[in-house]
């Protein structure tokens, strides 16, 4: 337990000495005590008990928790102390730099209702940057609870099978991330590896065997596969009841129909919609522009936005540049998934719009150790100045794809066992 005085007189007496750099440690310890007490007792009104005066704040990290969050700002010496409470755990993180200037310490209290994140300091330091990693974490924590519920109440253990063919290093990395996410959420994962010389018949036989395994609820073929294999035929072998990627023609057909719902929705577009929901972005009546028409992102993205009552326009690689520019300038919500670095000029972005950049492109960069850096399809720096909200690359949409894959697996497990389907109900930001 912590021993610290809460009397207003003692704290008031110390106020005049906050300017001294060595007092930063005292205020840090004091705040830690109150934070820990608040975390244990779930008493939200902690900050008003600390009569600390504010100086100019250099940086502010927005926090997310189930009840409340805190930021302690001590100028340049202690940039931030953040507390996040999730599932009964108290997480603390500190960011230090050089000595503090005159002016003292700052404690902010922010009340939040669960939900996602509206700020990320990782790209540009702006409060309009969407933290996809944080929202992904929240989704996966919720999925974990759903898995535990399925196990305890219905005896159902969700299972995901990932089929990887060949020896591509990037595919191995992607599969590793999915397996780790399964472990985090409590989902049983089965990794099936086949050599690059695998025949079409052998690959299809493996898929049919997985279709018949009642302990496997979702099947995913890691793309790309070796060129000698027929990708469409192989994917068509996956039972649409176990189509965890949501690409089966039956699922896409259901997605396209009003008042009907696919068993599983494509993960990346579904992740985008979850970002919009948790960031409280109004889609009803909004002008939404989707750049790209792929089966994986563009087309299902447009369908999901239509179902959310947006007015949707789709442009693509064959759209004349002048029309592309015109469409982007009109967008209240812009989703770009063209796979071309810097395709969308930042100056085209409508003031106050929401920009979701799905693109992930590597460009040469001699300043980087590996010789390249990752960028999106939108020219970020200029776009960030104009957008109300924007996703960074990396750290925006990418983490959400894996999170929604976990959600789809749980959905299919519940559907196949004829038990209630857990819904993502995370509070909005």
Cα-Cα end-to-end distance for the chain:
32
From the candidates 178, 242, 307, 350, give the one annotated as an active-site residue: 178
For residues 360 and 378, what is the distance between their CA atoms, to the nearest angstrom? 10
Please report where in the chains the tokens 């200029």 appear, as a residue.
Answer: 382
Q: Which helix (H) or strand (E) holds 124?
A: none
Q: Are 371 and 406 in contact (CB under 8 A)?
A: no
Tokens of 26: 């005292």
∠ at Cα 13 (8, 14), nearest 5°?
A: 100
Tell me whether residue 222 is one of the annotated catalytic residues: yes
Catalytic residue among 73, 131, 243, 245: 245
Query: Exactly one of 137, 222, 265, 379 is catalytic; which is it?
Result: 222
Q: Cα separation of 327 and 348, whole Å?
A: 9
- CA dihedral of 146, 427, 391, 245, whole degrees rounded to 10: 30
| Alpha-carbon separation of residue 102 from 25, 125, 214, 252, 305 (angstroms) | 15, 24, 66, 60, 50
Distance (Å, whole) CA 136 – CA 396:
9
> Up-side HSE of residue 19: CA atoms within 13 Å toward CB?
3
Cβ neighbours for 377, distance < 8 A, ≥ 6 positions apart: 291, 336, 337, 338, 339, 340, 341, 342, 343, 344, 357, 358, 359, 361
What is the C-alpha separation between 60 and 43, in angstroms, rounded? 23
Decide if 245 is catalytic. Answer: yes
Catalytic residue numbers read: 178, 222, 245
């Amino acid at each position: 337990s912590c021993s610290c005085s809460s009397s207003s007189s003692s704290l008031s007496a110390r106020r005049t000495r906050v300017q001294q750099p060595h007092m930063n440690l005292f205020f840090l310890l004091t705040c830690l005590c109150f934070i820990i007490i608040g975390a244990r007792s779930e008493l939200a009104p902690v900050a008003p008990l600390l009569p600390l005066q504010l100086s100019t704040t250099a940086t502010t990290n927005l926090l997310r928790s189930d009840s409340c969050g805190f930021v302690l700002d001590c100028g340049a010496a202690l940039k931030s102390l953040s507390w996040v409470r999730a599932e009964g755990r108290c997480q603390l993180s500190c960011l230090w730099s050089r000595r503090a200037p005159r002016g003292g310490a700052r404690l902010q209290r922010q009340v939040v209702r669960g939900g996602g994140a509206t700020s990320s300091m990782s790209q540009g330091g702006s409060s309009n940057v969407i933290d996809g990693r944080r929202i992904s974490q929240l989704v996966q924590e919720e999925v974990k609870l759903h898995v535990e519920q399925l196990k305890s109440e219905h005896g159902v253990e969700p299972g995901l099978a990932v089929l990887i063919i060949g020896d591509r290093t990037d595919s191995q990395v992607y599969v590793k991330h999915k397996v780790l996410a399964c472990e985090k959420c409590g989902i049983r994962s089965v990794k099936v590896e086949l050599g690059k010389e695998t025949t079409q018949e052998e690959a299809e036989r493996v898929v049919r065997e997985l279709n018949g395994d009642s302990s496997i609820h979702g099947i995913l073929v890691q793309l790309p596969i070796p060129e000698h294999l027929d990708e469409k035929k192989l994917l068509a072998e996956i039972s649409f009841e176990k189509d965890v990627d949501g690409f089966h023609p039956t699922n896409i057909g259901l997605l396209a129909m009003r008042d009907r719902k696919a068993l599983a929705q494509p993960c990346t577009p579904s992740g985008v919609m979850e970002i919009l929901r948790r960031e409280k972005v109004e889609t009803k009546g909004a002008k939404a522009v989707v750049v790209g028409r792929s089966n994986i992102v563009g087309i299902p993205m447009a369908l999901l936005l239509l179902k959310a009552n947006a007015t949707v326009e789709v442009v693509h690689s064959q759209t004349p540049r002048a029309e592309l520019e015109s469409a982007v300038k009109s967008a209240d919500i812009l989703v770009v998934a063209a796979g071309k670095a810097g395709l969308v000029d930042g100056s085209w972005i409508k003031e106050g719009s929401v920009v979701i950049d799905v693109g992930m492109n590597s460009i040469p960069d001699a300043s980087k150790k590996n010789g390249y850096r990752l960028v999106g399809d939108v020219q970020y720096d200029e776009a960030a100045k104009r957008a109300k909200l924007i996703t960074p690359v990396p750290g925006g949409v990418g983490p959400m794809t894996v999170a929604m894959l976990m959600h789809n697996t749980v959905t299919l497990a519940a559907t196949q066992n004829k038990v209630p389907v857990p819904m993502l109900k995370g509070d909005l930001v």
